[in-house]
Amino acid sequence: MFILDVRNTDDFDDWKVEGDNVEIHNQPYFDLMDGVEPVEEKLPKDQPIYVICAKGGSSQMVAEQIAEAGYDNVYSIEGGMKAYSEHLEPIEIGKVSGGTIYQFVRIGKGCLSYLIESNGEAAIIDANRMTNQYDEFIKEHSFSIKSVLDTHLHADHISGGRDLANKHEATYYLPLKDATDVQFDYQPVEDGDEIKVGDTTIKAFYSPGHTIGSTSYIIDEQYLLTGDILFIDSIGRPDLAGKAEDWVADLRETLYKRYKKIA
C-alpha cells in the first residue's frame, strides 16, 4: 500500500508505519497547505492513497486536496498515528485444553498480550491500557474473565490489568517481587503457583532478569509466555531499573539454565 505521512519530518523519522508491502512518503502538512504540487509526482495513479497524520485532522484536509486534484481512492486514516499506536489485532495462535489461546498484537508498538480461553472462562496476560478492545472481544465471544495476570512491572506500556480485573470482578495477579510498592489489592504470584481457567492450567515460572520479579507463564505444558525475557531474535534488557550489574546475572541464569529445565 502507498501511505502519505503528513507529520513533521522529525516525528516521521522517529516512528512511522512500516511493513514489507508498505511504500511510505513523508511530506509535512505545512508544505501542502496551498496545494499538493510538492508531492504530486510521488503519488500513484493506479492504487489507493492513504494519508496519515498524528490524530487524523491534517490528513483529512490533505486527502481532500488530493481527491480534488483528480486522484481516485484517497483515504484519510481516522485517528492517525495515535489510533495506529493503540490498535490491538487478535490472532488465534493455538489450542489449549477445552479452548484457545489468542495473541493480541499491538502492531504500532510491538507489544504482545494474550487471552487464554477454556470452556467459556478466560484469563488475560500482559494487558495494554486500551482495555475496551479486550472488552469488545470478550463480549463478542461470550467469555467470562476469571483471572488477569502481568508477567512483570512493565517499562514500555501502562498495564490495563488492574482496570480489567476490576471491571470483570476477576483476580489480578502480580509477581510478588515486582509489587513491593503497590498500593492496591492484588494476588501475589510466585514460582510454581498454578491458576486454573476452565480445563487449562497456567503455571507461574519465576524467570528474573528483565525485572527482579519477571515471571513466565507455562500454559498446559505446551506454551511459554516469557513476558519480555526471551524474544525470537533477542533477549530482554536488564538495565531499565538502573540495576544492570545486579540483574544481568539473573538474566543469564534464566536464559541458559532455568529455561533449559522446561525445554
Count of helix runs (H) and strand runs (E) in the chain: 6, 15
Residue 209 vs residues 141, 181, 263: alpha-carbon distances, Å: 36, 19, 18
DSSP summary character for residue 222:
T
Q: Annotated catalytic, 111? A: no
Are 54 and 11 in contact by the 8 Å Cβ rule? The answer is yes
How is residue 201 written as a grid cell? 492450567
106 strand-pairing partners: 111
SS (H, E, C) 235-258: ECCCCCCCCHHHHHHHHHHHHHHH
Catalytic pick from 3, 4, 6, 53? Answer: 53
The catalytic site residues sit at: 53
